[in-house]
Copies of this chain bind each other. A is one copy, B any other.
């Protein structure tokens, strides 16, 4: 049975098929948008536009292009699923989860320190638990990118 790649080896890539143009051997899209994944290109085209995707691919190093396309496809799918927040909604949820978990961990570590003070020669470990050292930098800053409106379901005022 023919493999997927041989089946499609003479087909235009998903981008050229979508754009109804001839897929040339040096097509910038072809390595990342195989014909068997038409939705991947349709999504990035809808959200970013083929021209912007092409420009971006030309701006990054060839070895970075696969990751760039995959992150664009991820963002595009998120924006199609959630036109208002896109994948920024996920960042906001995750930032709050990190803050909540860190607070919980700080509190639990404080309890462990108290136990160690009461019972210095017993317990599961011979030394007191280490203080919480987990560092969680936000990629840009520690502010929630969307604020409370996102989390309470409210919208902006107009």
Q: State the A residues within 8 Å of B (CB).
A: 31, 46-49, 51-52, 56, 59-68, 70-72, 74-75, 78-79, 83-91, 93-95, 97-98, 100-102, 104-105, 108-109, 111-112, 114-115, 118-119, 122-125, 129, 132, 134, 136, 138-140, 145-146, 149-150, 155-158
| 17 further interface pairs, Cβ-Cβ under 8 Å (given A68-B84, A90-B139, A100-B134) | A48-B52, A63-B155, A64-B155, A67-B84, A67-B156, A74-B88, A75-B87, A87-B87, A89-B139, A90-B138, A94-B95, A94-B98, A101-B105, A101-B136, A104-B132, A114-B123, A119-B122
Contact, CB under 8 Å: B85 / A71: yes
